[in-house]
C-alpha cells in the first residue's frame, strides 16, 4: 500500500556492519592485567564540572569523572570458557574501581553505557544533554562522553557491546545472552537498581541507533566464524563479531540508594575533590537529574594516544536557582546555593580537577572568584592550583533584581522538536502519534526508533505520514522501515522494534500516526500497582550516516525545500518522554470469586442433568392422594 519497503527483520539480526580498524592485537591485557610498569603511569583520573546557565533561568551542572587505564584492552570473550576451569588472571587497579572492573571482566564487555535518569529533558529549552552543547567532544581537556553518549532517556537504560569469538557453547564459550543476563544482575547489585527487569521482554539490539562510541577491539582469529546466513551481525575481523544489547526500563526511578554506590566508585568518594559536591539532597531535588556510567575502549594511536579502557562516571542535574532562592526570584547561583557544599579538599590522585562555567551572553554579570582562565565564553577554574581550596564559584546577574521568565518562547536549542502521544480511550485499541518539527533551515535526515514492550502491537498498515497539516500522505519521507513484531508470551518474548529513516524538509513538521492494539495480559503478568498503567519507553531519534544513498529520495520533492540545500542530521540522540498506556486490568480479588462462580455453574448444570437422568417418574393419582406407585 505504501512505497515504504517493509522488511521484517529479526531484532538480533538487525545489526549494522562495523568495519574495525585492523590494528594488530598487542599482548592482550584486560583492564588490570599484569604489567611491570607502576600502576600510576597506567591509570589517570580527571574530574570536571561544567555549569551551563540555561535560558529559562535554570543551571545545568554536569560532573564527569574520567578514569583511563592506559594500554588495557577489554577481555577477549574466547577466554571466558577457559577461565571457568583454570581461574582468572590477576587484576590490579589503583584508580579504576575494582568492583566495576570485575564485572566488565567477568562478562567480557567491550563497551557499556548505563544511565539512571529521572525527569523530562527539555531539548528545546536546554539543548543537548551532557556537559557541552556541541555534539562532538572537543579535544582534551574538554573531552568527555559527549552529548551523544550521555543520552537523556528517562528511567534505567543499559546497553552494552559484547563480542562473541564464535567459539560457541560447545567449545567452552559463554553466549552473549548469558553474559547480558549476568551483566544485568551484577550491575543491579552494584547500583541497587532494578536492572533485573531489563530482561528479554525489554532487550533488543538496535545497533544503528546505539553505535559504539569508542572502538571495538578486533577479536582473536583462532575461532571459526559462525555460519550466519544473513551475515549482518559479523562485525570484527578474524571470525568473531560484536552484538549490541539494549534495554530500557522507563518506570525505574533514580534515587539516593543509586548515588551512594555511584560515589563509592570514585577514587576520592565524596570526601575530596568534585565528588564532594554530589549532595544527594540537592541533586535529587533538581528538576532533572541523572547518573551515567560509560565504559569504552579507545584504540591506540590517533587521538587517543596510547589508548586504553576509559570509564566516565557522569552525574548531571538541572537546578532551578529561581526556585531555590524563594521570594528573591533571582537566578544568581553559587556552589553553596546549588549543592549546599564546597570543595574542601582536593582529590590527591586527580590529574586534573576543573570547573568550567559557560558565561552568559549579552547581559551584565560578575563571576567570583577570578577564573584561572577564560577561553571564549567559558571560564575555567583549576581546583588543583594553589589557594584553590574552599572555592565557591558564584555567578551574579548585576542588573537583574528579579528574574523575568521569557514571555515569548525563545528559539529552540534543539534541531528537532518532538511531540509524541497516545490517542484513544479504549483499553483495547489506541493510536500512537508522533510529530517532528525541523527547527533548522536545512532538510534533516534522522533515524527513528520505537522499542515497545509486547504490551502494545503496532499495526503497520495504518501507518500514515503527513506534512504540515496537509492531509495527503507523504510516505516518501519515511524510508528504510524495519519492523520486528512483538513476541508476547512463551520462551521467546521480546519487544517490538520499529526503525525507520525520516526526511524532514526545513522548518516543517512531519506527523506520523500508527494504530495499535493493546495486549490483554494474563493475571500473573500484571505488575504491582497495575491500575497506574504501564510506562512505554520513549522513542529515539538518532543521527544517520548521510552518505547513504537510500535516504536521499524523500527530500527532492519536499515542500519549500531548496533543491541545493545540503541535508544534515542531528548531532546527538533525542529521547522523547515516556508514555503511560492503560491496559485492561482485572479486579485482583477475582480468582477465588471466579473459581466459586464457575464451580457453582458447573454444579448447577451437573445437578440438573444428573437429576433428569436418575429421577424416578411416577404417576400420581390426584383422586387417591399421594400414593406412590
Partner 1 sequence: MDTQPGSDTSKVKDPSRLTYENVQTRWFVLSSYWIVIILALPFWWRTTSIERLSLPSHRIRAQVEERPRLAVTLALDRSSFGTQVDSVASEVNGLLEASASSSRWRGIDAKVVVGADEKSSYTVSAGKSTVVGNRSLVLSSEDVKRPTRIAELLSDLVAPYMATADNLPERVIQYAPRYRLAFSLLNENAASKSGATGWDVQRAISKHFNPVLSELGLLHNFTIESQVQYHSPLAFQPEIIDNGLGLTHDQLTVFVNSAEWTLASSVSNDPVLHFVLFVPSQKDMPMYILDTAGRPANSNGFLLPQWGGVYVLNTPPDQQELVHLKEKDLLPVFSTFVGQFLTLMGVANLPPDVRSLETSALSSWQLDALLRRRALENIHGSQDTLHSIIKLVEEIENMPVGDVVRDEVQGSLDLLEEAYRASSISPELTLKWSSQALAFASRAFFDPGMLALLYFPAEHKYAVYTPLFASISVPLIVALVREFKAWKLTRQAAQ
Return residues touching partner 1 (CB under 8 A): 32, 34-36, 38-40, 86-95, 97-99, 102-103, 106, 186, 189-190, 264-265, 267-269, 271-272, 345-349, 592, 595-596, 599-600, 602-603, 606-607, 610-611, 613-614, 616-619, 621, 629
C-alpha dihedral, 386 to 387 to 388 to 394, nearest 10°:
-140
Nearest to partner 1 of 108, 207 (CB atom): 108
State the Cα–Cα distance between residues 53 and 126, nearest whole angstrom: 9
Nearest to partner 1 of 189, 571 (CB atom): 189
| Shortest distance in whole angstroms from residue 388 CB to partner 1 | 14
| Shortest distance in whole angstroms from residue 498 CB to partner 1 | 36
Nearest to partner 1 of 103, 150 (CB atom): 103
State the Cα–Cα distance between residues 551 and 127, nearest whole angstrom: 26
Nearest to partner 1 of 92, 323 (CB atom): 92
| Shortest distance in whole angstroms from residue 214 CB to partner 1 | 23
Q: Is 498 within 8 Å of 481 (Cβ atoms)?
A: yes
Nearest to partner 1 of 401, 615 (CB atom): 615
State the Cα–Cα distance between residues 426 and 34, nearest whole angstrom: 62
Nearest to partner 1 of 15, 104 (CB atom): 104
Task: Please state, as a whole number, how many other Cβ atoms lie within 10 Å of the Cβ of residue 212.
Answer: 21
Cα distances from 494 to residues 22, 199, 204, 452, in angstroms, run: 34, 9, 7, 9
| Shortest distance in whole angstroms from residue 86 CB to partner 1 | 7
Q: Interior CA angle at 405 toward 579 and 130, to 5°?
A: 50
Nearest to partner 1 of 268, 458 (CB atom): 268
Cα-to-chain-centroid distance, residue 627? 86
| Shortest distance in whole angstroms from residue 603 CB to partner 1 | 4
| Shortest distance in whole angstroms from residue 269 CB to partner 1 | 5
State the Cα–Cα distance between residues 67 and 311, nearest whole angstrom: 5
**Rg of the chain (C-alpha set):** 29
Nearest to partner 1 of 65, 132 (CB atom): 65
Antiparallel, parallel or unpaired: β 352-358 and 43-53? parallel
C-alpha dihedral, 542 to 546 to 549 to 553, nearest 10°:
70
Nearest to partner 1 of 8, 594 (CB atom): 594
| Shortest distance in whole angstroms from residue 173 CB to partner 1 | 18
State the Cα–Cα distance between residues 334 and 341, nearest whole angstrom: 10
Give 136's DSSP letter. Answer: S
> How far from each other are the two terminal CA atoms of the chain, in whole angstroms?
79
Nearest to partner 1 of 619, 626 (CB atom): 619
State the Cα–Cα distance between residues 514 and 429, nearest whole angstrom: 11
State the Cα–Cα distance between residues 416 and 572, nearest whole angstrom: 11
State the Cα–Cα distance between residues 530 and 613, nearest whole angstrom: 47
Among 377, 431, 439, 442, CA closest to 574: 439
Nearest to partner 1 of 20, 94 (CB atom): 94
| Shortest distance in whole angstroms from residue 90 CB to partner 1 | 4
State the Cα–Cα distance between residues 257 and 268, nearest whole angstrom: 19
Task: Pull the grid cell for residue 102.
Answer: 570485575
Residue where the block lists cell 580498524: 21
| Shortest distance in whole angstroms from residue 452 CB to partner 1 | 32
Q: Which 3 state secondary structure label does DSSP give 316?
A: strand
| Shortest distance in whole angstroms from residue 277 CB to partner 1 | 15
| Shortest distance in whole angstroms from residue 181 CB to partner 1 | 14
Amino acid at each position: 500500500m505504501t512505497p515504504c519497503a517493509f522488511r521484517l527483520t529479526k531484532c538480533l539480526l538487525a545489526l549494522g556492519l562495523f568495519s574495525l580498524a585492523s590494528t594488530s592485537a598487542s599482548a592482550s591485557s584486560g583492564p588490570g592485567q599484569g604489567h611491570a610498569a607502576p600502576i600510576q603511569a597506567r591509570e589517570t583520573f580527571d574530574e570536571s564540572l561544567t555549569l551551563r546557565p540555561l535560558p529559562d533561568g535554570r543551571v545545568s551542572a554536569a560532573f564527569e569523572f574520567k578514569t583511563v587505564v592506559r594500554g588495557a584492552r577489554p577481555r577477549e570473550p574466547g577466554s571466558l570458557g577457559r577461565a571457568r576451569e583454570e581461574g582468572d588472571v590477576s587484576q590490579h587497579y589503583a584508580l579504576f574501581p575494582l568492583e566495576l572492573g570485575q564485572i566488565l571482566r567477568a562478562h567480557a564487555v567491550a563497551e557499556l553505557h548505563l544511565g539512571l535518569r529521572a525527569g523530562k529533558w527539555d531539548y528545546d529549552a536546554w539543548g543537548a544533554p551532557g556537559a557541552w552543547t556541541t555534539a562532538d567532544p572537543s579535544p582534551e581537556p574538554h573531552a568527555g562522553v559527549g552529548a551523544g553518549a550521555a543520552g537523556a532517556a528517562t528511567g534505567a537504560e543499559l546497553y552494552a557491546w559484547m563480542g562473541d569469538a564464535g567459539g560457541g557453547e560447545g567449545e567452552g564459550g559463554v553466549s552473549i545472552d548469558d553474559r547480558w543476563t549476568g551483566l544485568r544482575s551484577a550491575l543491579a547489585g552494584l547500583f541497587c537498581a532494578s536492572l533485573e527487569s531489563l530482561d528479554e521482554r525489554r532487550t533488543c539490539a538496535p545497533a544503528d541507533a546505539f553505535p559504539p562510541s569508542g572502538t571495538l577491539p578486533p577479536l582473536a582469529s583462532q575461532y571459526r566464524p559462525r555460519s550466519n546466513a544473513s551475515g549482518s551481525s559479523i562485525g570484527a575481523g578474524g571470525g568473531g563479531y560484536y552484538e549490541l544489547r539494549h534495554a530500557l526500563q522507563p518506570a525505574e526511578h533514580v534515587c539516593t540508594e543509586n548515588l551512594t554506590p555511584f560515589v563509592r566508585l570514585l577514587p576520592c568518594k565524596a570526601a575530596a575533590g568534585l565528588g564532594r559536591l554530589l549532595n544527594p539532597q540537592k541533586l535529587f531535588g533538581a528538576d532533572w537529574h541523572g547518573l551515567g556510567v560509560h565504559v569504552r575502549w579507545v584504540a591506540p594511536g590517533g587521538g587517543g594516544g596510547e589508548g586504553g579502557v576509559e570509564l566516565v562516571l557522569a552525574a548531571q542535574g538541572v537546578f532551578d536557582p529561581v526556585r531555590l532562592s524563594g521570594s528573591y526570584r533571582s537566578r544568581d547561583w553559587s556552589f553553596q546555593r546549588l549543592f549546599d557544599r564546597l570543595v574542601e579538599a582536593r582529590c590527591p590522585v586527580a590529574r586534573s580537577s576543573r570547573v568550567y562555567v559557560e558565561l552568559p551572553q549579552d547581559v551584565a554579570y560578575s563571576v567570583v572568584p577570578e577564573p584561572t582562565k577564560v577561553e571564549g565564553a567559558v571560564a575555567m577554574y583549576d581546583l588543583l592550583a594553589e589557594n584553590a581550596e574552599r572555592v565557591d564559584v558564584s555567578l551574579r546577574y548585576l542588573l537583574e533584581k528579579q528574574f523575568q521568565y521569557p514571555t515569548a518562547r525563545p528559539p529552540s536549542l534543539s534541531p528537532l522538536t518532538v511531540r509524541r502521544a497516545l490517542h484513544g480511550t479504549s483499553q483495547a485499541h489506541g493510536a500512537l502519534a508522533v510529530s517532528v518539527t525541523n527547527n533548522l533551515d536545512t532538510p534533516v535526515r534522522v533515524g527513528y526508533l520505537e522499542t515497545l514492550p509486547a504490551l502494545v502491537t503496532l499495526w503497520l498498515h495504518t501507518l500514515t505520514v503527513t506534512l504540515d497539516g496537509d492531509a495527503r500522505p507523504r510516505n516518501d519521507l519515511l524510508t528504510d522501515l524495519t519492523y520486528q513484531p512483538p513476541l508476547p508470551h512463551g520462551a521467546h518474548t521480546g519487544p517490538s522494534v520499529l526503525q525507520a529513516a525520516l526526511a524532514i524538509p526545513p522548518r516543517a513538521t512531519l506527523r506520523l500516526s500508527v494504530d495499535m492494539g493493546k495486549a490483554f495480559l494474563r493475571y500473573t503478568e500484571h505488575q504491582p500497582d497495575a491500575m497506574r498503567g504501564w510506562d512505554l519507553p520513549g522513542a529515539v531519534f538518532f543521527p544517520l550516516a548521510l552518505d547513504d544513498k537510500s535516504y536521499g529520495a524523500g527530500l527532492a520533492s519536499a515542500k519549500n525545500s531548496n533543491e541545493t540545500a545540503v541535508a544534515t542530521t542531528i548531532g546527538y540522540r533525542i529521547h522523547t518522554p515516556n508514555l503511560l498506556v492503560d491496559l485492561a486490568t482485572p479486579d485482583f480479588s477475582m480468582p477465588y470469586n471466579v473459581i466459586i462462580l464457575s464451580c457453582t455453574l458447573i454444579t448447577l448444570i451437573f445437578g440438573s442433568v444428573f437429576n433428569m437422568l436418575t429421577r424416578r417418574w411416577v404417576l400420581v393419582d390426584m383422586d387417591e392422594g399421594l400414593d406412590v406407585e
